Structure 1
């Protein structure tokens, strides 16, 4: 009986704690609302509305616990109900704590994965330098230097254009397996200006029976990761780019661009 005498008291104490918790949640909402009145963005008033409902629920539950505990002190027949309420409350607390722990564990995992992803992204291969080699009026070689500690497959995209129009695009996937890499690609003038032969390109290089002097041929290069272990792809903002130019004197006849003079910018 001594143990049974404490059950109503524990029920009353539990009810008081529940009611205080409910008042605390309602107080948080009121405080947040007061802080948001002077701000342009008052969306917190909407997002914090569930606190009101949880607070009211806890207050009602607390009042019920207190009422049952008070009556159980006078009526021993209600002590079983009081005991069951304590069991339900204990089980609910265990479930809430388990839910919170699971949520925190998943949040920690997510933060760790994001941290690893960020580290991988910072160590990806990046273009360090681009050099034009073996430059003649017939063609040239592009040497692309990159460095990075994250190895894998990367796509090299090279676009040749004038100020407005794209003339030629080259794509190739390469495997970068060392921290420093050199990739060379040969391009002929005929390939770069092949778009002029069909007459559909509006580039000033393609105007038939006309020439250009000191005109810019822009070369835009991008290094894009396509298959990297530990990195979820595709993802924006991880490629690096480089732009260089050549200065040309040309003459176009029957859709064929003849380069008379070519220099590095």
Structure 2
């Protein structure tokens, strides 16, 4: 299938903005929190946002399967063997959302042959987001119901002082050891897929992840990072791939540990 990136970007942005408005309405009213079998929280905002995104994607791209977090949790898993499919996390950072913080995001990505080729990360409470299509990454602002300002972004080169970003809710001893091994003294803790985006816009050098994520958690942010000149690799140095099924030691669509980094990251350890 030949990808019309202009139409794709318009549909992703419209779907994300619509979902973001629904999320913020529920956020203002106070969400009702429930818990999945894996003890992760889910709210009506997750479910309503996913419904709206799926409706938009199915309407415009009826032949492209959509793997969405809440649908998969309910046992609805489409066939992605064709290699082209969407990954949707309607509300990444639900813990931040429930806690009243602003670092939650709406995430939509298009995967082709295992790689994220387009994606959007919208932070509705921050009135901003990031989008990547056709090998170009942008940061944008939102005013009312529209995107009002766009700015091309790119990863920064490696300098003498390195900055990392890490998960606010999933800190691990392995992360602390990684920072020490690589001589990184500055580390910003932030929720959701915004960690990828901080590296993509040159505000950080590396995002190490040593705790479990699912493909819908990472795909949109990874798309932005790759379009900005960065990369996401597993600990054995291979590019992180999407569409992982029938894994011997983990669930479908579960990611291994990874390092997401800018173009200037060499990975060398502290002498």
Structure ranking higher in strand proportion: 1
TM-score by length of 1: 0.19
TM-score by length of 2: 0.19
Structure ranking higher in helix proportion: 1
Could you say which structure has the larger radius of gyration?
Answer: 1
